[in-house]
Amino acid sequence: MTPEDQDLVTIVIINYNYAAYLATAIDSALAQDHPAIQTIVVDDGSSDGSRHIIESYGSAVEALYCPNRGHSAALNTGYSRTRGNAVLFLDADDLLHPTCISTALRNLMPGDVKIQFQLETIDPQGVSQAMAFPYFSAAFTPAEVRRQSLLSGWYAWTVSTGNLYRRQYLDAVLPLDDTKIYRSPDGYLNKLAPLFGNVRSLAIPLGAYRVHGRNQWASAAGAWDIAAAVRWLRFESALEDAFLRVAAHRGIAVRRPLLSSFHQLESRILVLRFATDRPLPDDSRRKAIAAALNWLLLLRTDGWAGGIGRLSWLLFLAFAPRDMALAQMRVARAQSGRSLFWRRAVNWTRRL
C-alpha cells in the first residue's frame, strides 16, 4: 500500500443478475462525500444485461467479469484488487447514503477491526419500510460484543452492506475457502471479527437494504419458508467450526460448547416443528428450550425483561398449534410488510 492509499476506502460491489438495482448501488458508491474512494464492481456471471450497465460507467469504476461461482468467490476476486485501507462490500441490490464512508471513518477507533452501522429497509421500488436494523443499544460496546462472541460465537451484526472493515483484518482472513464458506461470506467475516479486535456499532442508518423476494437473509411478509431455517442451521454449523478453529489458533479461550444464539434457537425450534430435513437429527424441543434457558441466564443479550419476552416467543413457537405458530412466524420475522402489532412488539422488547 502506498502512502496516498492511507485515506483510500474501497467499495466492492458484488452483482449477480441485479440489473434492476445495480445502477442505484454504483451511483451510491460514486456519490460518497469522502474524497478518496476506489469503486470495484464484480459481476459474477450475470445474464440479465448487468454488463451493459457496468460498462456505461467507463473508467469511473473498475469492472471485473467472472464466470458464475457464487458470492464468496466473487468477494475473493474483488478483494484481490482493492487498494484501500478500509473496505466495504456493497451488495448490488443495496445502497449507501452519501455520508456513509465519512461517518464510519470518523467513528472508527484504534484497535477496531470493523465498524458496523444500521441499514434502512426499503422495498423493490426503494420506499422506506420504517424498519432500520439491527438494534444497537447504548450498552452494545465493543467489550459487550466480545463478551457475547466468546460465549456464543454470535453478536448482533449487520448484513454485508452495513460493515466497513479494516484492511489488516481482511488480510488475515481472506481469501475465503469458498468450498466451505459457500454462501453469505459476510457471516464468516462478521463472526470472526471479535477474535481479531474491537467491533464498534453505530445506531444510525448509513445505507439501505432492499427486500425484493430474492434475498439470502430477509423475506417479505408471508414469504418466509422453512427451507430458509434449514439452510441457516447448516451454514451456521460451518461458521461455528471456523470460529472455534480460528479462536484455538489465536489462543483465545471461548466457551465450549458455545451457547446458542436467539436466532439459532428460533431456527432450531422451527425446523423441529415444520421441516422434514433436519440438520440436527438428535435435537428435540426439550433440548432447544433448555438451551434457551441457558441463553437467558448466561448471555442475556436483551436484558432480563427483553430476554423473557423473547423466551416467551420461543415457547410459543415450540408449543402453540402448528398453523398458528407458522402464521405468526411469517409476519413477525418479515423484514418488510411487518404488521403494526409485531412492529410494536419488537420495539417493546428493545425498550426493555
Chain segment 308-317, per-residue pLDDT in tens: 988 999 999 9
Distance CA 196, CA 206 (A): 24
pLDDT tens, residue by residue, 175-188: 999 998 988 999 99
The pLDDT of residue 4 is above 90: no
The mean-pLDDT minimum among 16-25, 215-224, 342-351 falls in 215-224
Which amino acid appears at position 16 of this protein? Y
Residue 165 predicted with pLDDT over 80: yes
Q: Does 219 score more than 70 pLDDT?
A: no
The whole-number pLDDT of residue 114 equals: 98
Query: If 0-12 CB within 10 Å is exposed, 13-18 middle and 19+ buried, where does residue 105 land?
Result: middle
Confidence of residue 340 (pLDDT cuts 50, 70, 90): low
Angle, helix 322-332 to helix 262-274, in steps of 10 degrees: 140
In sequence order, what are the beta bridge partners of 115? 164, 200
CA distance 246 to 238: 13
Q: Hey, which residues does 96 pair with through a beta bridge?
A: 207
How many residues can be counted in the chain?
352
45-48 long-range contacts, CB within 8 A, separation 24+? 45/16, 45/69, 46/15, 46/16, 46/17, 46/18, 46/19, 47/17, 48/17, 48/18, 48/19
Tell me the C-alpha distance between 47 and 43, whole Å. Answer: 10
What is the pLDDT averaged over residues 145-168?
97
Binned at pLDDT 50, 70 and 90, residue 3 comes out as very low
**Are 88 and 67 spatial neighbours (Cβ–Cβ below 8 Å)?**
no
The end-to-end CA distance of the chain, in Å, is: 46
* Residue 225 pLDDT level (bands cut at 50, 70, 90): confident
Task: Express as a percent the part of the chain with pLDDT over 70.
Answer: 89
The amino acid present at 113, given as its one-letter code, is V
3 state DSSP class of 245: helix
The single-letter code of the amino acid at 320 is A
Q: What are phi and psi of 106, to 5 degrees?
A: -65, -30
pLDDT of 216 reads: 53
Task: Calculate the average pLDDT of the chain.
Answer: 90
pLDDT at 120 over 80: yes
Structure confidence at residue 336 (pLDDT): 57
Grade residue 1 by pLDDT with cuts at 50, 70 and 90.
very low
Please, which pLDDT band fits residue 220 given cuts at 50, 70 and 90? very low
* Mean pLDDT along residues 123-133: 89
Q: Answer yes or no: is pLDDT of 6 > 80.
A: no
Q: Answer whether 42's CB lies under 8 Å from 71's CB.
A: no
pLDDT of amino acid 309? 87
| The pLDDT value given to residue 246 | 98
Closest CA to 6 of 108, 84, 111, 88: 84
Start-end of H helices in 112-253: 142-152, 167-173, 185-192, 226-249
**Within 10 Å of residue 298's Cβ, how many Cβ atoms?**
11
For residue 222, the model assigns a pLDDT of 54
Band (pLDDT 50/70/90 cuts) for residue 236 is: very high
**Averaged pLDDT for residues 222-232:** 79
Q: Could you report the per-residue pLDDT of 264-299, keeping only the tens digit for each?
A: 999 999 999 999 888 888 999 999 999 999 999 998
- In this predicted structure, the answer to whether residue 215 has a pLDDT above a threshold of 80 is no
What is d(CA 336, CA 210) in angstroms, rounded to the nearest whole number?
9
pTM: 0.90
The reported pLDDT for the residue numbered 8 is: 98
